[in-house]
């Protein structure tokens, strides 16, 4: 019925809002090397594309067959969404394509950060020992 199709279309638009937020959050975490975030990005990207295609080209949403709307304002808005989505989808795909590099980079940064803490402690110990041993100002500055 018309009400069922309208409800499915409206529900899909609402889902697309949620997916766009989920995609932004997941992408932010994924570029930090969060392994679990990549699946969220992939799922959100794929579901958004499916929903957008159903609204713009017609299709089935949650078991309800949806026809393409002939309403000009809606078509214009869907066209704008499609244009923006194409750029977002390309960037999300780039993040997914670089998963291994992003995860490796994150692990490397974690290693550097952990190493820096130990290095800082050693440098502070060296400065303390130089000061305690009567080192001159230049030697103490150098150890810092």
135 and 111 in a common domain: yes
Which of 38-52, 61-75, 115-129 is the least confident region?
Answer: 115-129
Could you give the number of structural domains in the chain? 2
pLDDT surpasses 90 at 15: yes
User: Rounded to whole angstroms, how far apart are CA atoms 67 and 64?
Assistant: 10
Q: What is the pLDDT of residues 19-40, one digit of tens each?
A: 999 999 999 999 988 999 999 9
pLDDT of residue 27: 95
pLDDT of residue 137: 52
81 and 40 in a common domain: yes
pLDDT surpasses 80 at 87: yes
For the chain, what is the mean pLDDT?
A: 84
107 and 69 in a common domain: no
Q: How confident is the model at residue 141 (pLDDT cuts 50, 70, 90)?
A: low
Burial grade of 50 (CB within 10 A; 0-12, 13-18, 19 or more) = middle
108 and 76 in a common domain: no
14 and 85 in a common domain: yes
9 and 72 in a common domain: yes
Q: How confident is the model at residue 135 (pLDDT cuts 50, 70, 90)?
A: low
49 and 111 in a common domain: no
Can you give the three-state secondary structure of the chain, one letter per residue? Answer: CHHHHHHHHHHHHHHHHHHHHHHHHHHHHHCCCCHHHHHHHHHHHHHHHHHHHHHHHCEEECCEEECCCCCHHHHHHHHHHHHHHHHHHHHHHHHHHCHHHHHHHHHHHHHHHHHHHHHHHHHHHHHHHHHHCCCCHHHHHHHC
Domain hosting 75: range is: 1-97
Q: How confident is the model at residue 92 (pLDDT cuts 50, 70, 90)?
A: very high
- Percent of the chain scored above 70 by pLDDT? 80
pLDDT of residue 37: 95
76 and 112 in a common domain: no
128 and 87 in a common domain: no
1 and 54 in a common domain: yes
63 and 18 in a common domain: yes
18 and 8 in a common domain: yes
User: Rounded to whole angstroms, how far apart are CA atoms 55 and 12?
Assistant: 8
**pTM > 0.85: yes or no:** no
Q: How confident is the model at residue 96 (pLDDT cuts 50, 70, 90)?
A: very high
């Amino acid at each position: 019925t018309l009400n069922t199709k309208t409800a499915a279309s409206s529900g899909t638009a609402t889902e697309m809002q949620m997916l766009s937020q989920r995609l932004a959050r997941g992408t932010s975490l994924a570029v930090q090397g969060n392994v679990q975030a990549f699946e969220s990005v992939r799922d959100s990207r794929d579901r958004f594309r499916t929903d957008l295609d159903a609204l713009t080209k017609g299709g089935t949403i949650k078991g309800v067959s949806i026809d393409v709307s002939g309403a000009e304002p809606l078509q214009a808005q869907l066209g704008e969404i499609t244009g923006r989505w194409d750029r977002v989808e390309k960037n999300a795909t780039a993040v997914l394509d670089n998963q291994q590099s992003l995860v490796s980079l994150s692990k490397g940064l974690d290693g550097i950060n952990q190493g820096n803490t130990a290095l800082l402690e050693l440098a502070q110990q060296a400065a303390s020992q130089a000061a305690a041993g009567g080192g001159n100002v230049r030697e103490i500055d150098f150890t810092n």
